[in-house]
């Protein structure tokens, strides 16, 4: 999240999101970090007079979460979001942090407070409920319903948000008073995850030693196949890609996975979603550091970073090969840049999606989260 939020302004008095002061400098979505309740937040206070009939007690029954946009657009992927789900009416609202200069940050409405429903998957058409909120969950919205969204987001039919952190204490408390009933969809979703996990476990062995090379090249390959530029490919494209990169899976497993992903029946699937489901992805703890590294490089917030800037910023002094004397700093920097360039659709710059693909591949071969974070942070000085 943001290091120092000295001033926050909300333009919607009805929802009345108050100022947040935060000392933590990372989004670390697991038990290793300070819980949300300790981050000096005073949120959705109701002590001022409004036209609403909602009471302070009712509004206190809310769940707070942090989120990010699932997007290959670097500017959108690095947007910092905070949301609230209100159990009294099953509504939710989401805000975005916007930083101006070094010290001033405001919080602006991103998704207006309203009751929303899932827009894809097994739960398409069903209203969001408490059980839909957990770290790693994906919330979907129709972009056309939110006219104030940035144009880059409205280009896509669906806006997909990933929950990166959640107030677990509040969630556990709300669950004890929740009257939600389990449904058949839960078992179906569990089976879906098992289908994907079986494929991911199979491919993990093939990716273990060459994950960086394959994922960077695969990302670029998908972009080349995407002639329309909408991020969607058909079944034949995906089968061809898996064959080219020697990542074949059985026909039965592929068809099972395809039926789950192609839930709208149009024969097209987003290739980012395909990669996340078939190959898997690093957890939100690791992703938070990838975004932090990219944001440090992308100081103009364009969503892309010139290769020349990456060369200037990348420091190989603490690389294990340099410390052991097996390689020089220049050799490590050159190797890194050459590998990264393989993923690039443009020879002189790296997009966020391409940057993330590199670290997705690196993540596959590193079991421990802290080892991964140390390897990622050392060259970027974060």
d(C-alpha 81, C-alpha 374), whole Å: 25
Reported as a pLDDT band with limits 50, 70 and 90, residue 27 is very low
The CATH number covering residue 307 comes to 1.10.238.10
Give tens-digit pLDDT for 261-289: 998 788 999 999 999 999 999 999 999 99
Residues 205 and 243 in one domain: yes
Backbone φ and ψ of 335, nearest 5°: -65, -45
Residue 29 within a domain: no
Tokens representing 334 are 């050159």
Among the candidates 217, 248, 279, a domain finishes at 279
Among the candidates 264, 279, 294, a domain finishes at 279
Residue 38 within a domain: no
Residues 96 and 169 in one domain: yes
Average confidence (pLDDT) over 162-174 = 95
Residue 43 within a domain: no
d(C-alpha 114, C-alpha 135), whole Å: 22
Residue by residue, DSSP assigns 185-248 as HHHHHHHHHHHHHHHHHHHHHHHTTTHHHHHHHHHHHHHHH-TTSSSEEEHHHHHHHHHHTT--
Residues 108 and 203 in one domain: no
* Lowest-pLDDT choice from 190-194, 197-201, 205-209: 205-209
* pLDDT averaged over every residue in the chain: 84
pLDDT of residue 346: 86
Tokens 């932090």 correspond to what residue? 292
* Lowest-pLDDT choice from 30-44, 125-139, 198-212: 30-44
Give tens-digit pLDDT for 347-378: 889 999 999 999 999 999 899 999 999 999 99
Residues 61 and 173 in one domain: yes
Residue 61 within a domain: yes
**In this structure, how many other beta carbons lie within 10 angstroms of the beta carbon of residue 110?**
24
Asked whether residue 24 carries a pLDDT value surpassing 70, the answer given is no
Residues 295 and 273 in one domain: no
Among the candidates 178, 209, 226, a domain finishes at 178
**Dmax (CA) of the chain:** 69
Q: Are 136 and 163 in contact (CB under 8 A)?
A: yes
Residues 207 and 227 in one domain: yes
Q: Are 372 and 358 in contact (CB under 8 A)?
A: no
Number of domains the chain contains: 3
Reported as a pLDDT band with limits 50, 70 and 90, residue 159 is very high
Asked whether residue 48 carries a pLDDT value surpassing 90, the answer given is no
Residue 189 within a domain: yes
**Structural domain harbouring 204:** 185-279
Residues 170 and 212 in one domain: no
Residues 266 and 310 in one domain: no
**In this structure, how many other beta carbons lie within 10 angstroms of the beta carbon of residue 64?**
20
pLDDT of residue 106: 87
Left, alpha or beta for 44 (phi > 0: left; psi -120 to 50: alpha)? left
pLDDT of residue 2: 35
Give tens-digit pLDDT for 282-312: 999 999 999 999 999 998 888 999 999 999 9
**What's the burial of 298, exposed, middle or buried (CB within 10 Å: 0-12/13-18/19+)?**
buried
Nearest to 298 by CA among 313, 287, 280: 313
Residues 312 and 270 in one domain: no
Residue 40 within a domain: no
Residue 8 within a domain: no
Tokens representing 132 are 């839909």
Residues 206 and 119 in one domain: no
Residue 139 or residue 56, greater confidence: 139
Residues 214 and 229 in one domain: yes
Helix (H) or strand (E) holding 94: strand 91-100
**What's the burial of 165, exposed, middle or buried (CB within 10 Å: 0-12/13-18/19+)?**
buried
Residue 34 within a domain: no
Residues 197 and 118 in one domain: no
């Amino acid at each position: 999240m943001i290091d120092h939020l000295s001033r926050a302004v909300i333009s919607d008095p009805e929802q009345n999101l108050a100022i947040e002061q935060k000392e933590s400098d990372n989004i670390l979505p697991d038990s290793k970090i300070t819980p949300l309740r300790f981050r000096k937040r005073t949120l959705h206070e109701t002590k001022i007079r409004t036209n609403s009939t909602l009471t302070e007690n009712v509004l206190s029954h809310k769940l707070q979460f942090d989120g990010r946009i699932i997007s290959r657009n670097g500017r959108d992927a690095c947007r910092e979001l905070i949301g609230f789900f209100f159990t009294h009416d099953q509504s939710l609202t989401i805000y975005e942090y916007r930083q101006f200069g070094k010290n001033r940050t405001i919080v602006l409405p991103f998704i207006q407070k309203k009751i929303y429903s899932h827009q894809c998957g097994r739960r398409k058409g069903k209203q969001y409920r408490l059980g839909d909120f957990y770290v790693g969950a994906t919330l979907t919205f129709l972009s056309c319903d939110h006219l104030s969204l940035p144009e880059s987001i409205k280009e896509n039919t669906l806006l997909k948000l990933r929950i990166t952190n959640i107030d677990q204490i509040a969630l556990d408390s709300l669950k004890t008073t929740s009257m939600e009933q389990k449904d058949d969809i839960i078992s179906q979703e569990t089976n879906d995850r098992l289908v994907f996990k079986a494929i991911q476990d199979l491919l993990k062995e093939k990716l273990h030693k060459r994950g960086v090379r394959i994922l960077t090249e695969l990302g670029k390959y998908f972009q080349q196949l995407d002639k329309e530029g909408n991020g969607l490919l058909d079944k034949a494209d995906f089968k061809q890609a898996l064959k080219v990169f020697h990542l074949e899976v059985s026909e039965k497993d592929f068809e099972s996975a395809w039926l789950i992903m192609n839930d709208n029946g149009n024969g097209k699937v987003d290739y980012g979603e395909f990669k996340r489901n078939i190959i898997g992805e690093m957890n939100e703890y690791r992703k938070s550091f990838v975004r932090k590294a990219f944001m440090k490089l992308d100081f103009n917030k364009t969503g892309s970073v010139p290769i020349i800037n990456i060369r200037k910023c990348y420091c190989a002094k603490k690389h294990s090969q340099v410390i052991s004397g097996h390689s020089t700093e220049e050799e490590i920097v050159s190797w890194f840049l050459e590998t990264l360039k393989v993923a690039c659709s443009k020879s002189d710059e790296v997009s966020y999606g391409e940057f993330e693909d590199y670290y997705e591949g690196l993540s596959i071969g590193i079991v421990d989260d802290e080892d991964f974070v140390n390897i990622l942070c050392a060259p970027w000085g974060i």
